[in-house]
């Protein structure tokens, strides 16, 4: 059974940083994609970054490119999202997602089968 558990959300002032973590269980062979999505109030859930855990270059949405970084610790089955220079528009619930293959654009939530419960990030101006 696949389970994704996020942590690390919180409140921060604009310009600050946060690091989110996503621990994956039930997916231990490295042959899967993981991603971070976010959903602001009254908006659709959108992808912000993805990486193939077996090895590869991460992909980022234009809105976070240069500010957010994905990195992994395979020994801990953990994917991290390092968020720097946070802006009020980054305020959202952040979700971790995973699947063994991408059948559509990684930016679309329907592409991923497994989801975490989400963690709130609030950025004040």
Q: Which residues, listed in sequence order, are joined to residue 49 by a DSSP beta bridge?
A: 36, 60
The token pair at 106 is 């990684």
**pLDDT value, residue 55:** 87
Which pLDDT belongs to residue 35? 97
pLDDT above 70 covers what percent of the chain? 99
Listed residue (63, 72, 101, 80) closest to 9, CA to CA: 80
pLDDT tens-digit series, residues 68-77: 999 999 888 9
Taking residues 81-92, report their average pLDDT. Answer: 98
Q: Which residue has the tokens 């990030």?
A: 121
Name the average pLDDT for the chain.
Answer: 95
The model's pLDDT over 28-56, given as tens digits with 9 standing for 90+, comes to: 787 899 999 999 999 999 999 999 998 88
Question: What number of CA atoms fall less than 13 Å from residue 81's CA on the CB side?
Answer: 32
Model pLDDT, residue 56: 83
Nearest to 29 by CA among 109, 98, 118, 96: 98
pLDDT of 30 reads 78
Q: HEC profile for the chain?
A: CCEEEEECCEEEECCCCEEEEEEEECCCCCCCEEEEEEECCCCCCEEEEEEECCCCCCEECCCCCCCEEEEEEHHHCEEEEEECCCCHHHCEEEEEEEECCCCCCCCCHHHCCEECCCEEEEEEC
Q: Find the mean pLDDT for residues 99-104.
A: 93
Asked if 70 and 98 touch (Cβ cutoff 8 Å), the reply is: no
Q: pLDDT value at position 24?
A: 94
């Amino acid at each position: 059974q696949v389970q994704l558990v996020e942590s690390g959300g919180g409140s921060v002032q604009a310009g600050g940083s946060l690091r989110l973590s996503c621990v994956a269980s039930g997916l231990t062979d490295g042959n899967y994609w993981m991603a971070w999505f976010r959903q602001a109030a009254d908006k659709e859930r959108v992808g912000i970054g993805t990486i193939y855990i077996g090895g590869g270059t991460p992909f980022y949405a234009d809105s976070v490119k240069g500010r957010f970084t994905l990195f992994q610790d395979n020994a801990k089955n953990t994917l991290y999202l390092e968020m720097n220079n946070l802006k009020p528009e980054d305020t959202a619930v952040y979700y971790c997602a995973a699947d063994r293959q991408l059948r559509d654009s990684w930016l679309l939530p329907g592409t991923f089968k497994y989801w975490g419960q989400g963690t709130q990030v609030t950025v004040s101006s």
